[in-house]
Amino acid sequence: MTPEPVGESVDRSSGTIALSPPDVTGLVPLETVLAKRRSIRHFTGAPVSATELSQLLWAAQGISGADKHGPVRTAPSSGRSVPLEVYTVTPDGLGHYRPTEHELEMLRTDDLRSALAEAAGGQPCIAEAALVIAMTAMTARTAEKYEGRAGRFVALEAGHAVQNVLLQTTALGLGAVPVGSFDDAKVSELLALRGGCDPLYLVAVGYPQR
């Protein structure tokens, strides 16, 4: 399938991209995905398609159903406090994932990858990635219920969500590396994070260079 550039489906009037419905069946067994997962730091430069982007965002924080307490997401959340906010950085710009609507709100239309790589100590995997998924958190949401343990719970949740992304990239034949070494203030500024929202993790994603 020829990758479809993400920007082609941007609705410029509303600044949002309607994402395609997630694939909830898949063809690769979980055990195969677990056995194949590796950190990949070199990419071909080929873009990630709109369908792949949609699938990765759903894996990160998508709504996968509902029960008597409300919506359920693909990653667990302490007391359903849902502190995580997911951002995307691609050549098309900066996006913010809205799980309820399963859409991407475009916040900027310039390519921030090089600046983000610089904020991550010059790590080339960020500049070379077709897509960087930034996992950020509003810890105050969790602190309302779990005051003393909010920091711990939020970090654990980010790990759950990022592992979902890593496994989904593997299942799609993409490569990825989780990146935790970066300058928090610089990344916050680039992503234009609101006060109280902190960057926790970046995931560089692309087609693996073999």
Ligand X SMILES: Cc1cc2nc3c(=O)[nH]c(=O)nc-3n(C[C@H](O)[C@H](O)[C@H](O)COP(=O)(O)O)c2cc1C
Can you tell me the distance from the alpha carbon of 198 to that of 129, in angstroms, rounded to the nearest whole number?
A: 22
DSSP state of 37: -
Q: Residues 76, 79, 180, 196: which binds ligand X (CB under 6 A)?
A: 180
The end-to-end CA distance of the chain, in Å, is 19
Backbone angles phi, psi at 125, to 5 degrees: -60, -30
Collapsing DSSP states into helix, strand and coil, what is residue 40? coil
| Residue in 13, 25, 100, 181 binding ligand X, rule: CB under 6 A | 181
- Choose the stretch contacting ligand X; rule: CB under 6 A; options: 46-54, 65-73, 107-115, 174-182: 174-182
Instruction: Compare residues 41 and 141 and give the one whose CB is closer to ligand X.
Output: 41
Instruction: Rank residues 17 and 59 by Cβ distance to ligand X and give the closer one.
Output: 59
* Pairwise CA distance, residues 147 & 79, whole Å: 12
Q: Is 41 in the site for ligand X (CB under 6 A)?
A: yes
What SS3 state is found at 170? helix
How many other β-carbons are positioned within 10 Å of the β-carbon of residue 7? 16
Q: Does position 142 bind ligand X by CB under 6 A? A: no
- Give the binding range for ligand X (CB under 6 A) out of 14-22, 67-75, 133-141, 175-183: 175-183
Binding window for ligand X (CB under 6 A); candidates: 12-20, 35-43, 91-99, 134-142: 35-43
Whole-angstrom distance, CA of residue 114 vs CA of residue 24 = 34
Closer to ligand X at the Cβ: 6 or 191? 191
Contact residues toward ligand X (CB under 6 A) are: 38-39, 41, 123, 125, 177-181
